Amino acid sequence: MKQIFKNLYAFDDKLISKKPIYVEDGIIVDEFEKDDETEIIDCDNLAVLPAFTDLHVHFRDPGFTYKEDLKTGSLAAIKGGYTSLLLMGNTNPPVSSPEVYEDIIKRSKDLDLIDIEQVYTITENLAGKSLSHLDTMPKSVKFISDDGRGVNDDNIMYEAIIKAKELGVKMALHEEVAKVSAKDYEIAEDAMTLRDCYYAYKLDYPLHFCHVSTKGAMTAIKYFKDLGAPITCEVTPHHLYFSDKKREEMKVNPPIRKEVDRQFLIEMIKEGYVDAISTDHAPHTKEEKEKGAPGFIGIETAFSTCYEVLVESGIISLNQLIRIMSTRPAEILGLNKGRIKKGYEADFVLIDLDQSYIYREDEIRSKSKNSLMIDKKLDGRIKRVYKKGRLKYEDNR
């Protein structure tokens, strides 16, 4: 199948172009002569970006599908411009066995909506004690993670890195010293981040730090990156958008931090130390949120939120935002996506950067409605999403 995407403004981490994009069998190619079977796609003068990749998502499937499931989560992701993501493993049962892992992968492929990578747990059943389950881990696993909790035992963490190096998988880390977090969650995040940055540096192992939220943790990451440690990190839209003025009203782990932390995260984005913006999309029911369940959905509004905070404010360019929402996350996940360049998959998100909209609860595709952005005015409405040249989402408003 040959396609020509025309009448557009194309952006990736480096590109700004009005040239048509040529696609053959879902892959971006050089210019070709159109024939009678070539599909011409008019992009209506919209901005065309490489679709986004999210390195930190909870779809609650299996075990908590009353909150979200693979289908509703995938539909929400597409609406938000995402065609690929990494699912966390704190499900019920946890993703600690080949059976659970392979079931999720099979069902996600059968849906044929987005590309899903599934983490395997670092410790068996997230208990923080045993690594024996890694001996039977499927070879297709790319990341292991105990997200939802930190690996508190120093020796277990050391042994996990040695094991992961042998198996050729990366590790995504939730940084929280459990016995400290109830007293001082800032120190709890900072202390474990410092430990694991040092492990990554000394053991030359690629660690990815999830939802970094404090100045202290990001300072450690910056320091060890400058030393050459093979580490990457992500921040969330809600830690960029909100700060301590409202943090008591918003239950999330890690918590909404002080304004000094928020500003430091933004500065580190500007300086290039942040590799990805990840949503930590965390569906809950209304009743669970009223009882203090931590986390929010955010995958449908992530682009608009970050576009406002970072691009419209003049802090970074749209190209730089694409770098941390598309290009680098895809590289970290080992995907052939994230750039509008020959040889890359034709995963595109078409956005009207000038269109403002109110995010209404009745428009949410997620099964849960626990969003911080409901009834807020947002800019940059996503109009269409293509995966390998196939239209997966269209907004006609």
Least Cα distance to 235 among 291, 287, 183, 298 occurs for 298
Q: Which residues of 177-199 are buried (b: 16+ CB within 10 A; e: fewer)?
A: beebbeeebbebbbbbbbbbbeb
Whether 280 is catalytic: yes
Task: Output 96 or 244, whichever has higher pLDDT.
Answer: 96
Every domain range in the chain assigned CATH 3.20.20.140: 51-339
> pTM here?
0.97
Domain 51-339 has CATH 3.20.20.140: yes
Q: Hey, what amino acid is at 271?
A: E
Every domain range in the chain assigned CATH 2.30.40.10: 2-48+345-394
How many CB atoms neighbour CB 318 within 10 A?
A: 21
Q: Which of 154-163, 189-198, 242-251 has the lowest mean pLDDT?
A: 242-251
User: Taking all residues of the chain, what is their mean pLDDT, rounded to a whole number?
Assistant: 97
**Which of 12, 146, 275, 280 does the annotation list as catalytic?**
280
* Contact (Cβ atoms closer than 8 angstroms) between residue 50 and residue 322: yes
CA distance 319 to 306: 13
Judged against a pLDDT cut of 60, whether residue 30 lies above it is answered with yes
What's the pLDDT score for residue 244?
Answer: 79
Q: What are 117-172's pLDDT values in tens digits?
A: 999 999 999 999 999 999 999 999 999 999 999 999 999 999 999 999 999 999 99
Least Cα distance to 379 among 47, 72, 78 occurs for 47
Residue 250's pLDDT band (boundaries 50, 70, 90)? confident
What homologous superfamily does CATH list for 2-48+345-394? Urease, subunit C, domain 1 (2.30.40.10)
For helices 70-79 and 98-111, angle between their N-to-C axes, nearest 10 degrees: 50
Judged against a pLDDT cut of 90, whether residue 397 lies above it is answered with no
Average pLDDT over residues 266-295: 96
What's the pLDDT score for residue 249?
Answer: 60
